[in-house]
Amino acid sequence: MNTNQKIQNRQAVIGVVGLGYVGLPLILGYANKHHKTIGFDVDAKKINHINAGQSYIEHIAEAPIAQAVNAGYLEATADFSRVSEVDALIICVPTPLDKHFEPDLSYVINTVDAIVPHLKTGQIMSLESTTYPGTTEEELRPRIEARGLVVGKDIFLVYSPEREDPGNPDFAGLNIPKVVGGTTPACAEAGVALYSAVFGKVVPVRSTQVAEFAKLLENIYRAVNIGLVNELKVAADAMGIDIWEVIDAAATKPFGFKAFYPGPGLGGHCIPIDPFYLTWKAREFGVHTRFIELAGEINRSMPRYVIQRTMEALNDKGKSVKGSKILILGLAYKENVDDMRESPSFELLDGFKSLGAAVDYHDPHIPVVSPTREHANWTGVTSVDWNQQTISQYDCVVISTNHNAVNLLELKEWAPLIIDTRNAFAKSSLIPNLGQLVKA
């Protein structure tokens, strides 16, 4: 019985490397369909949580984890020699940028190097980490074949980009169509078999390069449109026009327009990062993606714009930003989740602190700042309490993330000055006092 048949009969063991926001829901998808799964990670805390049937991601419930573990369909380990026990292996590790905005494939390369010695004939390997077109063929395939295994015959290598959107109630996990590209036709067939076992719709494409490029296009589309609306916001502010009202008016057109909204900057592991994987690879071919790079510059400038608007608002009240107490409301990069990856709130924290302000944050989803590569100085800082005595002490509250759990009516009553970067008050139909609210 080959691997494709074993998957179809639920007799295959599925391995997932990297048990974060992408890997954990994915492995649960297989386990809950009664496929035996093994999760691999270098983080002992994640492994211990899973094996104890516990969740460490807010929007992922514990019950499915506990049920899968107790039924024997899910276990986690840091022992990569157990790769030899699986029939299919899916890699979901980070692909950040370095300080020069160039791809950092160290997590992928180190993971593959740890896996390769334990590969066996007949296995399927899929990369889900976002990367530049050609990575699967140029980086993974040579490492596998150096082991003496022929891709397309002994090992079936595919690329299938993750499309996880934490906290999205409409599209999550297995109900999102799954794009799959193989390095050979046999690899593509194996990839379709692997993902058809749990995904409602699988979309095969001609090659791994097409799948890799498709993922970048999805997020570049968003980054460029958000960059456009962020630039228009600055222009509208200068003209005394409410950009949010402009967008709402334009969105009534039933064709040819899709609404995107401004904010304090881009966050999450995809949109601020993925476009630069393409700009980097395009330079290899003598192509300069100026449109993408310009959007990136605009989006990265938005925290500075928010800081400038805050300085002006404080100045109107006779206060200098230096010595002021400022509260950043929301550390997560998007509403109603505990995901703080690449959050622009960190840029606001750093920016106000560098100007001499005393700055704190409140986030009901993130009680304490966990370690990050770029903002290690905030590690261990805790969210301030939400009560009138605490909040009223701040000269200014900057809404960076519009969490539903935050009581805007209380904020209106307690804060002397509010900088609203998310149009939160207009969405809630609350009307702050004259001079209390500044949209930024």
Per-domain boundaries in the chain? 3-206, 221-439
Per-residue pLDDT tens for 262-313? 999 999 888 889 999 999 999 999 999 999 999 999 999 999 999 999 999 9
Average pLDDT over residues 356-367: 98
Burial of 28 (0-12, 13-18, 19+ CB in 10 A): buried
pLDDT-above-90 percentage for the chain: 88
Q: Work out the average pLDDT over 336-345.
A: 94
Helix 290-316 vs helix 274-284: angle between axes, to the nearest 10 degrees?
A: 140
Strand-pair partners of 344: none
Model confidence at 88, pLDDT cuts 50, 70, 90, reads very high
- Which range has the worst mean pLDDT, 36-45, 114-123, 150-159, 426-435? 426-435
Share of the chain above pLDDT 70, in %: 99
197 pLDDT above the threshold of 80:
yes
The answer to whether 184 touches 125, Cβ cutoff 8 Å, is: no
pLDDT digits (tens, 9 = 90+) for 406-419: 999 999 999 999 99
Give dist(CA 327, CA 352) in Å, integer.
10
Q: How much is the mean pLDDT over the chain? A: 94
Overall average pLDDT of the 357-367 stretch = 98
pLDDT exceeds 90 at position 258: yes
Task: For 57-80, give one letter per residue: b (16+ CB within 10 A) or e.
Answer: bebbeeebbbebbeeebbbbbeeb
Q: How far apart are CA 424 and CA 267, in angstroms?
A: 18
* Phi, psi (deg, nearest 5) at residue 128: -110, -15
- pLDDT on residue 238: 96
- Per-residue pLDDT, averaged over 312-317, amounts to 96
- Given its phi and psi angles, is residue 354 left (phi above 0), alpha (psi -120 to 50 degrees) or beta? alpha
Q: Indicate whether 436 pLDDT > 70.
A: yes
**Residue 419: strand pairing partners:** 398, 438
Question: Would the CATH topology of 3-206 be identical to that of 221-439?
Answer: yes
221-439 belongs to which CATH class? alpha beta
Q: Which residue has the higher pLDDT, 104 or 172?
A: 104
- CATH of 3-206, picked from 3.90.650.10, 3.40.50.1220, 3.40.50.720, 3.30.365.10, is 3.40.50.720
**Residue 175 pLDDT > 90, yes or no?**
no
Whole-prediction pTM: 0.92
Average of per-residue pLDDT across 44-71: 95
Q: Is the pLDDT of residue 22 over 90?
A: yes
More confident residue, 172 or 282: 282
Nearest to residue 188, comparing CAs of 213, 208, 174?
Answer: 208
What amino acid positions are annotated as catalytic residues?
Answer: 270
The closest alpha carbon to 395, from 305, 303, 320, belongs to 320
- Confidence band of 172 (pLDDT split at 50, 70, 90): low
Query: Could you give the angle at the alpha carbon of 398 between the alpha carbons of 393 and 403, nearest 5°?
Result: 105
